[in-house]
Amino acid sequence: MKFTNRQQELSRLRGLAQASKSALGVIWGRRRVGKTRLLIEWVEENQGLYYVADESAAPIQRKFMALALEAALPGFSDVEYPDWQSLLTRLGKDALARNWRGPLVIDEVPYLFAKTPELSSIFQKFIDHDAKKCGLIIVLSGSSQRMMQGTILDPSAPLYGRADEIIKLKPLLAGYTKDLSLNTAKEMLEFYAVFGGIPKYWELAENIPGTLGHKTEQLVLDPMGPLHEEPERLLKAESPSAIHLKPILDAIGLGAHRLSEVASRLGVPATNLSKATEQLIQLDLIEREVPYGSTVKNSKRTLYKIKDPFLRFWFQVVAPRRSLLSHVSAKSRIECFEEHLPRLAALLWEELCREAIPRLSSSWGKLYEPAGRFWHGKGPEWDILSQSHDQKHFLIGEAKWSSKAATPSWVQQQLEELMTKGIPPVQRQEKALIEYALFCPEFPQNFKAPQNVRLISVQEVLKALV
């Protein structure tokens, strides 16, 4: 698969490489989000050096790093380094003597810190002194988000405050599915509902011909598929392992979205889950949702959702059926997937519509703030609410997903429901002009909506999310 997006991150890395003095960059993000591909692209265009650490013993780690440095600093691996201090001291001397400034990328650096806890302090002294003398450009990268936060990004960490660039690499936005070999915008959204924005998953899916159902069966539903146990690998890859948090994800996948519901599923007091849910939020695996106009602090209606589309699909569809999936045919597995796809697509569609509001509104002559959803008990629910930045306009929207082609009568019915639902009981500027928006996968040709209603298709939403 071709190198997609990441232009902002590349631009920041290029600025780092052009620095007239030493510089330190830090890149972190979940496994398979594309850190390695990004760093290799950057290293190659700057004739730098890329080294990836592993979980071996510290002496072996130093030997591997010395062998990697040999490419830029001949003779570097001719000696054995008894500790990291001696290796980094030699690196500083040789780089200065050869006027070599890198860039040097050390990927999966948490593996090094895990084997040698004092290495972060040793590295801090190297950054502050020897690296400065030779003007070395260094980038540290890692997949273990907790380890990266604890050893580099935490205020108490030795390396805190040293980084000139800190880049948290996030999944690709849904609009970049345009770079895949998909025929329609609806197919792009359905693909994203399964594989999310993780480039590695996209690459694996692109290599398998056939329908989305066939790709998903081969990669995820089949017990021998490379992504069948992916969530467990993600949790175990954290340092320390986060596999003990999996039961919470299982419970949310089964439909428990309130903390009390999760606690009931697990048979523990809700107060016992606060630390674990915070860890999952920090790992970008779950997120809190509160009604529009509320905050986490003042709302008693907080919901917990699995944040990543692929993980949501896995915990809703795969996890509860792993035994069944191992005993049925590929055809049955595809049928199971196709049964659940419409709901997965509808959930994602609603989220993407809210996410797209600020970007879409830039062409409306007014800037709307991030949108939210409103609900209260058994009362009506509003999918999309947003207020313009100048508070002169208030947007009320509904997101409708259907696999069937929209007829004029169906769209008209959705419009009537939207208009008659009324205005939600949320805080807003009383004199704000009410605007409406109906989001559907597509609309009948030449269909005209009332003057104060916007009709927005899946194609427009995906186009905005790039």
Instruction: For residue range 367-399, list pLDDT tens digits in order.
Output: 999 999 999 988 899 999 999 999 999 999 999
Question: Do 114 and 187 fall into the same domain?
Answer: no
Does residue 396 sit within a domain? yes
Q: What stretches of 314-388 show up as alpha helix (H) in DSSP?
A: 322-325, 330-361
Domain that holds residue 186: 175-344
Does residue 1 sit within a domain? no
User: Which of residues 168, 183, 211 is at a domain's end?
Assistant: 168
Query: pLDDT per residue over 110-130, tens digit each?
Result: 899 989 999 999 999 999 999
Question: Do 226 and 159 fall into the same domain?
Answer: no
Does residue 161 sit within a domain? yes
Q: What is the CATH number of the domain that holds 62?
A: 3.40.50.300
pLDDT, position 143: 83
Does residue 194 sit within a domain? yes
For the record, the structure tokens of 241 come out as 């392992």
Question: Do 247 and 260 fall into the same domain?
Answer: yes
How far from 124 is each of 121, 167, 267, CA to CA, in Å? Answer: 5, 19, 45
Does residue 261 sit within a domain? yes
Question: Do 316 and 186 fall into the same domain?
Answer: yes
Cβ contacts of 166 within 8 Å, gap of 6 or more: 25, 26, 153
* SS3 state of residue 139: strand
Does residue 132 sit within a domain? yes
pLDDT, position 158: 86
Query: pLDDT per residue over 311-367, tens digit each?
Result: 999 999 999 999 999 999 999 999 999 999 999 999 999 999 999 999 999 999 999
Question: Do 32 and 100 fall into the same domain?
Answer: yes
Q: What is the CATH number of the domain that holds 353?
A: 3.40.1350.10
User: Which of residues 324, 344, 364 is at a domain's end?
Assistant: 344
Question: Do 297 and 358 fall into the same domain?
Answer: no
Number of independent structural domains in the chain: 3
In the Cβ-directed half-sphere of 310, how many Cα atoms lie within 13 Å?
A: 27
Question: Do 300 and 385 fall into the same domain?
Answer: no
Question: Do 334 and 369 fall into the same domain?
Answer: no
Does residue 2 sit within a domain? no
Question: Do 330 and 368 fall into the same domain?
Answer: no
Question: Do 252 and 329 fall into the same domain?
Answer: yes
User: Which of residues 117, 140, 168 is at a domain's end?
Assistant: 168
Question: Do 193 and 107 fall into the same domain?
Answer: no
User: What is the rounded distance in angstroms from the CA atom of residue 181 to the CA atom of residue 207?
Assistant: 11
**Has this prediction a pTM greater than 0.85?**
yes
- Counting as low any pLDDT under 70, the low residues of the chain are 1-4
pLDDT, position 1: 59
How far from 206 is each of 30, 212, 220, 333, 452, CA to CA, in Å? Answer: 21, 10, 14, 20, 41
Question: Do 23 and 115 fall into the same domain?
Answer: yes
Q: Are 103 and 138 in contact (CB under 8 A)?
A: yes
Does residue 108 sit within a domain? yes
Q: 297-316: b or e for each residue (b if 16 or more CB lie within 10 Å)?
A: eeeeebbbebbbbbbbbbbb
pLDDT, position 3: 65
